[in-house]
Structure 1
Amino acid sequence: MNWILLFLAGLFEVSLAFCLGKTKATTGTEFYLWGTGFLLSTVLSMYLLAKAIQTLPIGTAYAVWTGIGAVGTVIIGILVFKEPATPLRLFFIFTLIASIIGLKLVTN
């Protein structure tokens, strides 16, 4: 169950990065809506991370959480914000995913 909470926390970290990216190109009411989404995503991400580390090792949980956030944010950047998807960039994304899976496999 705590791995699910940790995964959800990572998804909310991706959400906060997405909202932050959207605030860059907006003004007025739309800026505040994306800003609110950013704040809610931040609170939910931190809450779920805090719940997950009650039983998971903090080093592993934090590494997985930031890894999910990093991979998700790069993918959002490529798909939504039209950032380049170079072969070397994709290679390192897959390396990061393999590391996250490896941490899950070696943690009791």
Structure 2
Amino acid sequence: MSWLLLFVAGLFEIAWAIGLHYSDGLSRPVPTVGTAVALLLSMVLLARAVRDLPIGTAYAVWTGIGAVGTATLGIVLLDEPATLARLAFLSLIVVGIVGLNLVSGGH
């Protein structure tokens, strides 16, 4: 269950990171509130997950999910570059996330 909470926390991290773009520097009220709610939910779920998971592993996985998801949505939604090198390095982050999950008993 803790791994599921951590995964959902990572999804909310993606939401608040992308929300920063749409909030225009926290100057637009509706996207700002959505960003803040996603940030709060992400932190609460991360806090719940680390009750049972090592903090170093959980934090690395959480930030990895956020980084890969945010970069991917940046490519899809915001026309950020999808160079071969960028995709290769994002793939390395995914390998790290999967590896940490495997060696931490998350399978």
**Normalization by structure 2: what TM-score?**
0.94
Cα distance, 1:18 vs structure 2: 1.1
Tell me the residue number matched to 2:6: 6
Q: Distance in 2 between matches of 1:23 and 1:55?
A: 34
Whether the aligned pair in 1 keeps the contact of 2:8 and 2:45 (CA below 8 Å) is: yes
Tell me the residue number matched to 1:34: 31
Cα RMSD between the aligned structures?
Answer: 1.4
What do the CA deviations read for 1:46-99 (whole angstroms, capped 9, x no partner)? Answer: 000000000000000000000000000000100001000000000000010000
Tell me the residue number matched to 1:94: 91
Matched, 1:76 2:95: no
Gaps of 5+ in 1: none
Tell me the residue number matched to 1:67: 64
Q: Distance in 2 between matches of 1:82 and 1:66?
A: 22
The structure 1 residue matched to 2:42, chosen from 45, 65, 70, is 45
Cα distance, 1:106 vs structure 2: 0.2
Distance 1:26 1:57, change over 3 A: closer
Q: Distance in 2 between matches of 1:40 and 1:4?
A: 19
Gaps of 5+ in 2: none
Tell me the residue number matched to 1:24: 24
Structure 1 segments of 4 or more deviating over 3 A? none
